[in-house]
Amino acid sequence: MASILYEVVRLTCPQVGICVSLLIFVGRKAMGISLLHLPLRFPTFTGGVHPDDNKRHTAHLKIEELSAPKKMIFPTLQNAGAPGEVVVEVGDSVKVGQLLIKQCGIISANHHCSVSGTVIAIEPHLHPCGSHVKSVIVENDEKYEVFRNIKPLGHPENLTKEEIIKAVSNAGIVGMGGAAFPTHIKLSPPSGKKINHIIINGAECEPFLTSDYRVMLEDTDELLIGCGALLKAVDASECIIVAESNKKDAIAKIKQNPIYQKNEKIKTAIVKTKYPQGGEKQLLSAVLKKEVPPGGLPADIGAVVVNIDTCAAVARSITTGMPLITRVVTVSGGAVANKRNFKVRIGTPVADAINAVGGFTAEPAKILLGGPMMGVAIHSTDIPVTKGVGAILALTEKDVGIKVTTNCTQCGKCVDVCPMNLMPTIIDRYCENFDAEMLEKLNIADCIECGSCTFICPARRDPLQRIRTAKKKINAFKK
Amino acid sequence: MEKMLRVGAAPHIFTKDSTAVIMQDVVIALLPALAAGVYFFGYRAALLAIISIASAVAFEHLWNVAFKKPTTVYDFSAVVSGLLLALNLPPTVPVWIPVVGSFFMIIIVKMCFGGMGQNFLNPALGARAFLVVSWPSIMTSYVNSGAKLIPFLLPDAVTSATPLSGEAATRYIDLFIGNIGGCIGETSKIALLIGLAYLLIRKVITWRIPVAFVGTVAALSWVFAGDGYFNGDWLFHILSGGLFLGAFFMATDYSTTPVTKNGAFVFGIGCGVLTVIIRLIGGYPEGVSYSILLMNVASPLIEKATAPKRFGKAGFKSA
Ligand code: SF4
Ligand code: SF4
């Protein structure tokens, strides 16, 4: 019996093996598809990791309004690029939507008051970046009087391209996915570059975060009006709203909306749930099947990526005329019991958001602004929520995990997961014995600092931290 | 609330795996093979394994003590190496063989090069090669399975050859379950397959090296090992000798294999080609360990040659 089975396997396997390999090979070469990938899978990028997404805690919770406290803090730096210039003085009375900080330099943004009250100080204050940054401190009179200049600009369809970009710039809109890059600059690509695809980034690949998801569900109209405005602003041929496969219901909701149904330029796409799916380059590679060239921008492949909440903010800045003064923030993590999705007035200190959920129920090990993969850990809660902050997370020791560092085992896991096709373990080696030339050969500048390598490393090495330090060293060297 | 919070840079969460957990997984995956060895060769197999592991851990600890370094034995890599060495020994070796082997393995092959992750040769295979060269007759005398060897009593040989040397006629089912002569851990293919499945499920290793290695051996022996071409008994070739043990547990060693995905394929295929060449042309009946050692040496080169394509250089992704 056994030997009959043996003979059958022995005689048939080579033929079957040859056929299967031929099929795979021909499939790859001739049809450009890999038969190793099932057609039903959602598109994605190569590499990446699967941390526990922890979205179950807040995904079902409606966005609630968080009432603003007495003391509000407005840093001059809430965007990538240069800080703005303060245009009010101590003692001035200010209103909701009034300009406090004016953009200054090319890459910069306006920042407005989100409450009404009095400017009580203009001084350096703790900032998410870890140091003190010049900030306008306003005492809230809790009357919320709206600034007189705020009036609706009408429907985006009746505005010109320039008017829309002007409105976005005036409203101080920046990328609300974390990087806080001023949106009006994204919408004005360098001459000679045409933007054809607008990608609305609802991937929200960071664990715990549900703010974009809630915006997709609850502010669908605004989101879609925003899409229309962006389409007009850059004269693109399509606007694709993208979400990860764990947010299919949000895409379904969008598809039911009449604005979506009327505008055939607005499309949707679902991508695989995987970190860092929401990275600009990774998202474009999944959706458009095109890779942004090294050192390049999405505009180089005719695309621009805009975050969900940002897109809704664009709509608001036009339909109501109100600048960007609120954003949706997820308050979550193992150390808070009453996890929430809040609409927060920008400038609200973190401490007030945490008090509003009833404080901590467990000892927090780290408090983060943003997600656990790329967010910043803050050492004090007297830091305001700024435009790029999508979450306040209080993680316990258990969430953070223990750290026992050993030698690198050369397991290659970091190489497998790096979404930028780098070799973190080898880069790590040359960071330790600093060798700028080798590091540039290894394309260290391509690193998007997503943290996948450090996340996956079983030896608890921290390639990313060394990469950051080495990048700084190399940049200092170049100057 | 003015307690100091931990800061530190992102990311703030990590995988639950650690070096120690991974190494423990490898030990678990090797247990079926060890159990099969004990079943077929008697308790002596277990004794050799214990001696080998204990001395490997002891040598690593002593090295750290001697050089005033924090001890590294808690990462469990010495346990894995010790167990692998024992599985690569014939069950009849005297008890000092695993001690000498462990010394060579831990001190010379591993710690002299900087410890875990820094060595360029597979420790267990390096030690085995050293033992074979130094005591060839001890290291190549095998007993038939079913020889219930008792600890501490050296058998006076019911020795037999392994099937690969072409003297013993073997039933295929015996080949599969391990009822044959050979090293302690290499004979039972079913036990090794269970171990492989565990490693794959736990994502300790990927399928690339084992599949490339075994597949290459199968293909080449089908083509070349028979009378004429394309009718070699490839199934016999992959089921005999130390191929599964080598391909699943030794060619997948982290430190001594390429870190890149394509490099893993190249490595596996290279091991397979060398194994078949040594088996068919070379003087040794078994080529798995030498081919892995040779490829270990080539591994840094393979790594360099198979660096992943820079993101954005491709223009269009291939699906
Ligand atoms: S090297 Fe950079 S891009 Fe690659 S995984 Fe690490 S942090 Fe992400
Ligand atoms: S994941 Fe960690 S242990 Fe593995 S190769 Fe990368 S740095 Fe080394």
Average confidence (pLDDT) per 10 residues, chain B, 319 residues: 66 89 95 93 91 95 92 91 94 92 94 88 93 87 68 52 50 80 89 96 93 93 83 84 92 93 94 92 80 94 91 56
- The answer to whether residues B104 and B125 touch, using CB atoms and an 8 Å cutoff, is no
Cα(B305) to ligand 2 centroid in Å equals: 19
Beta pairing, strands A85-86 & A99-102: antiparallel
Single out the residue of B104, B120, B108, B107 nearest to residue B63, CA to CA.
B107
The answer to whether residue A123 sits within a structural domain is no
CA distance A188 to A234: 7
Cα(A419) to ligand 1 centroid in Å equals: 7
State which amino acid sits at residue A330.
Answer: T
Residue with tokens 């505009």: A299
DSSP E strands: which ranges in A249-390? 266-271, 303-307, 326-332, 340-345, 366-369, 376-378
Whether residue A312 sits in one domain with residue A194: yes
Query: What is the pLDDT at residue A105?
Result: 83
Collect all residues of chain A within an 8 Å Cβ-Cβ radius of residue B310.
294, 421, 443, 446
Whether residue A300 sits in one domain with residue A419: no
Helical axes A161-170 vs A308-319, angle rounded to 10°: 100
End-to-end CA distance of chain A: 76
CA distance A281 to A448: 9
Cβ–Cβ gap B13/A51 under 8 Å: yes
Cβ–Cβ gap B234/A10 under 8 Å: yes
CA distance B149 to B153: 8
Cβ–Cβ gap A34/B22 under 8 Å: no
pLDDT block averages, 10 residues each, chain A of length 479: 78 85 75 55 87 91 91 90 90 92 88 93 88 91 88 86 90 87 88 90 93 93 93 92 92 91 91 92 91 90 93 92 93 90 93 89 88 90 91 88 83 94 92 88 92 93 91 83
CB contact A14 to B (< 8 Å): yes
Query: What is the pLDDT at residue A9?
Result: 82
Domain of residue A256 covers 174-319
In this structure, chain B runs to a length of 319
Single out the residue of B127, B121, B120, B137 nearest to residue B98, CA to CA.
B127
- The answer to whether residues B131 and B139 touch, using CB atoms and an 8 Å cutoff, is yes
Query: What is the pLDDT at residue B148?
Result: 62
- The answer to whether residues A272 and A43 touch, using CB atoms and an 8 Å cutoff, is yes
Report, in angstroms and rounded to the nearest whole number, the Rg of chain A calculated over CA atoms: 24
The answer to whether residue A327 sits within a structural domain is no
The answer to whether residue A206 sits within a structural domain is yes
Whether residue A306 sits in one domain with residue A193: yes
Whether residue A188 sits in one domain with residue A315: yes
CA distance A51 to A33: 28
The encoded tokens of residue A378 equal 């803050």
Cβ–Cβ gap B234/A451 under 8 Å: no
Residues 103-122 (B) with a CB less than 8 A from some CB of A: 114-118
Query: What is the pLDDT at residue B4?
Result: 59
Cα(A410) to ligand 2 centroid in Å equals: 5
For residue B262, is it left (φ>0), alpha (ψ between -120 and 50) or beta? alpha
Parse chain B into domains and list their residue ranges. Answer: 18-204, 207-306
Cα(B165) to ligand 1 centroid in Å equals: 50
Beta pairing, strands A326-332 & A391-395: parallel
| Ligand nearest to the Cα of A461, by number | 2
Collect all residues of chain B within an 8 Å Cβ-Cβ radius of residue A378.
5, 7
Query: What is the pLDDT at residue B7?
Result: 74
B286, with CB counted inside 10 A (0-12, 13-18, 19+), is buried
Which of B259, B311, B319 is the closest to A37 by Cβ?
B319
Cβ–Cβ gap B310/A446 under 8 Å: yes
Whether residue A308 sits in one domain with residue A189: yes
Cα(A48) to ligand 1 centroid in Å equals: 9
Please give the DSSP secondary-structure letter assigned to residue B107: I
Whether residue A310 sits in one domain with residue A185: yes
Residues 1-30 (B) with a CB less than 8 A from some CB of A: 1-2, 4-22
CB contact A129 to B (< 8 Å): no
CA distance A162 to A232: 10
Sign of torsion over alpha carbons A324, A184, A226, A213: negative
Partners of residue A140 on adjacent β-strands: A117
Single out the residue of A455, A421, A92 nearest to residue B262, CA to CA.
A421
The answer to whether residue A101 sits within a structural domain is no
CA distance A248 to B176: 48
- The answer to whether residues A343 and A327 touch, using CB atoms and an 8 Å cutoff, is yes
Cβ–Cβ gap A380/B21 under 8 Å: no
The answer to whether residue A441 sits within a structural domain is yes
- The answer to whether residues B299 and B257 touch, using CB atoms and an 8 Å cutoff, is yes
Single out the residue of B188, B166, B164 nearest to residue B248, CA to CA.
B188
The answer to whether residue A111 sits within a structural domain is no
Domain boundary among A295, A319, A343: A319
Residue with tokens 């038939």: B144
Helix, strand or coil, per DSSP, at residue A75 = strand
- The answer to whether residues A312 and A222 touch, using CB atoms and an 8 Å cutoff, is yes
CB contact A124 to B (< 8 Å): no
Which CATH number characterizes residue A273's domain?
3.40.50.11540
Q: What angle do CA B188, B280, B171 make, to 5 degrees?
A: 35
Domain count, chain A: 2
The encoded tokens of residue B67 equal 């050089």
The answer to whether residue A375 sits within a structural domain is no
Peptide bond into A152 cis (omega under 30): no
Partners of residue A182 on adjacent β-strands: A174
Query: What is the pLDDT at residue A44?
Result: 87
Helix, strand or coil, per DSSP, at residue A397 = helix
Number of CB atoms found within 10 A of residue A445's CB: 13
The answer to whether residue A160 sits within a structural domain is no
- The answer to whether residues B141 and B157 touch, using CB atoms and an 8 Å cutoff, is yes
Query: What is the pLDDT at residue B237?
Result: 85
Furthest-apart CA atoms within chain B: distance in Å = 82
In this structure, chain A runs to a length of 479
Domain boundary among A274, A298, A319: A319
Collect all residues of chain B within an 8 Å Cβ-Cβ radius of residue A131.
none
Helix, strand or coil, per DSSP, at residue A251 = helix
Spell out which residues line ligand 2, taking CB within 6 angstroms. Answer: A 408-414, 424-425, 428, 456-459, 461, 463; B 259
Say if pTM beats, i.e. exceeds, 0.80: yes
Domain boundary among A285, A302, A319: A319
Which of B21, B233, B311 is the closest to A294 by Cβ?
B311
